[in-house]
Amino acid sequence: MSKRFSRFILVILISLTTLGCFMFFGMDYFPVVGGIIATNRVNKYVGKPINNVRFDWLNNKYICSLDDGYELSYNLHYNTIYDKRISDEVRDIANRKYLSIQKDFPTNLILPQNIDVWTEINANNYAVKSQKAYILVVYNLEVLSKEQSLEMPAKIAQLFVELMGNGYSFTGIQLIYADKNGMYELSVFSNAFELLKYEYMKENVIKYSKNELPLDYIDWVKQHFD
Amino acid sequence: MSKTNRFIGAINILLALALAFSMLAQVSVYAYSSTTEWKGYAVYRDGVSGFNSGLNDHAALMDEPNRTYYKPIIHAPGYSDPVQWDHWDDFMNGKKYLGIFKPKNTTITETVANSFVSKARELRGISYNVLDQIVYSAGSNTWVYPENISQLRCDGVVEYTYEWFGYRVGGPDNKWDITRNLIANYWEHSGFFITPRKQNQELLTKVSSGYPD
């Protein structure tokens, strides 16, 4: 084996090991190439060259600041762009819609005053969205069995998605639900573009243990059920 | 109607007006106290690249009564920026929300909330550091003042602010106070002895799972 070929193999092995380490630690960072891809995606999106694209190690994404102070971020793993201006606008529209659909939920549910919606867009096709909804916290005054309680977060989430209509592409959700039996959390967080499905949401509900219960829930139970 | 009756009538009207004004004042006092609702509380979310070291969560302090305010939080956002006021979105970053927390056995009154916020604001401009909660050089001082601190991690902002006022967050007895300029106390707040995850899961009291609205 020639010396040159051995060096080539060594470089390949070191590169693969480095990438393996980043992947093992769940980083969406790809040395050099990741920065180039992110810069190209951002430039194309903004329509002009942006020089300050850098990796945010804490939040695992590429970020840059625009001239007007707004921040854009790019997720290499999912190839998504987060544009704060668009996300904020969508959140406001979604909240107006949410206010209009509150009457369609069962009356025994106490819904949060407003919701949060986080919107990312596909860097290859800006019309394709990936949206996360935050519905914190839904209280239920109805007395249910423990099995029924466990099913409620996914049922409420499904109803929410249906009532919000086709204009939204919910791919992630955090919904916290509370009733007499306890506090439950439905959490589906993925930046992929697959829309939420009832069965998948149902599988991702956990019940808070006793020491995870917040003080306001303990007070609420005392107030309504003691 | 006699002159005396008219006089008594006028007095009664004045007394009624005074009562009405005092009730209004009472209402405004309550309205004012509600404006401090979540000020000084700690909020957490997950989704930080922490190599499963316990750094996987992110901490911030509420600088305003609720999240609808412009830049309602103070936090150490990471290497890109120093400790600063920030938007709620920049805190959340599309990650999972973990709730509102406070020091154990503590009632956050308006005075306490304002003290926390005032101290946290003094930390603005301090650089980020991932390896330790705090990095400082305080010479022979008894206490570590904000001007002695060169670096803070996000959980360090919460820890320093609460412990400055004597509200213990983490660390063993006699060494828990991060603001005390002693090697033992410094050591207990270095590395990953205390992390944002440990703070919200073990060291603080969870007040609410909801947003600070």
Which residue has tokens 């092995």? A13
Q: Which of A182-186, B52-56, B78-82, B198-202 has the lowest mean pLDDT?
A: B52-56
3-state secondary structure chain B: CCHHHHHHHHHHHHHHHHHHHHHHHHHHHHHHHHCCCCCCCEEEECCCCCCCCCCCCEEEEECCCCCCCCCCEEECCECCECCEEECHHHHHCCCCEEEEEEECCCCCCHHHHHHHHHHHHCCCCCEECCCCCEEECCCCCCECCHHHEEEECHHHHHHHHHHHCCCCCCCCCCCCCCCECCHHHHHHCCCCCCCHHHHHHHHEEEEECCCCC
Burial zone of B120 (CB within 10 Å; 0-12 exposed, 13-18 middle, 19+ buried): buried
Structural domain span for residue B203: 42-208
CB A160 within 8 A of CB A119: no
Residue of B nearest to A84 (CA): B89
Co-location of B149 and B101 in the same domain:
yes
In sequence order, the β-bridge partners of residue A81 are: A74, A121
In a domain, B160, yes or no: yes
> Chain A residues with CB inside 8 Å of B206's CB?
212-215
Which residue has tokens 């939040």? A59
Q: Do A57 and B77 lie within an 8 Å CB cutoff?
A: no
- Chain B residues in contact with chain A using a Cβ-Cβ cutoff of 8 Å: 47-49, 51, 58, 77-80, 89-90, 92-97, 99-100, 130, 205-211, 213
Q: How many CB pairs below 8 Å do chains A and B form together?
A: 85
| ipTM surpasses cut 0.90 | no
Which residue has tokens 């600063």? B84
Residue of B nearest to A210 (CA): B206
Co-location of B89 and B191 in the same domain:
yes
Q: In this predicted structure, what is the pLDDT of residue B21? A: 47
Co-location of B1 and B68 in the same domain:
no
In a domain, B15, yes or no: yes
Pick from B49, B89, B100: which is nearest to A60 by CB? B49
Distances (CA, A) of B198 to A10, B148, B174, B192, B209: 41, 26, 19, 9, 17
Co-location of B113 and B186 in the same domain:
yes
Co-location of B1 and B104 in the same domain:
no
Co-location of B49 and B145 in the same domain:
yes
Helix (H) / strand (E) containing A154 = helix A146-164
> Chain B residues with CB inside 8 Å of A213's CB?
206
For chain B, how many structural domains are there in total?
Answer: 2
pLDDT band at A152 (very low <50, low <70, confident <90, very high): very high
pLDDT band at B57 (very low <50, low <70, confident <90, very high): very high
The reply to whether A134 touches chain B by the CB within 8 Å rule is yes
Co-location of B94 and B11 in the same domain:
no
Co-location of B2 and B70 in the same domain:
no
Nearest C-alpha neighbor of A192 from the set A132, A107, A134: A132
Pick from A30, A58, A74 the residue to mutate for testing the B interface (most B CBs within 10 Å).
Answer: A58
In sequence order, the β-bridge partners of residue B68 are: none
pLDDT for B91 beyond 70: yes
Distances (CA, A) of B62 to A200, B23, B91, B98, B196: 34, 31, 11, 14, 15
Q: In this predicted structure, what is the pLDDT of residue A56? A: 85
Nearest C-alpha neighbor of B77 from the set B179, B196, B211: B196
In a domain, B162, yes or no: yes
Report DSSP state, residue A204.
T
Burial zone of B121 (CB within 10 Å; 0-12 exposed, 13-18 middle, 19+ buried): middle
Co-location of B79 and B144 in the same domain:
yes
In a domain, B213, yes or no: no
Co-location of B126 and B170 in the same domain:
yes
For the segment B155-184, what is each residue's pLDDT rounded down to a tens digit?
999 999 999 999 999 999 999 999 999 999
For the segment A48-89, what is each residue's pLDDT rounded down to a tens digit?
888 888 888 888 889 998 887 788 999 988 899 999 999 999
For the segment A100-112, what is each residue's pLDDT rounded down to a tens digit?
999 999 999 999 9
CA gap A60, A82 in Å, rounded: 13
- The one-letter amino acid code at A122 reads N
In a domain, B88, yes or no: yes
pLDDT for B32 beyond 60: no
> Chain B residues with CB inside 8 Å of A56's CB?
78-80
Higher pLDDT, A157 or A49: A157
pLDDT for A22 beyond 90: no
Co-location of B28 and B53 in the same domain:
no
Co-location of B174 and B84 in the same domain:
yes
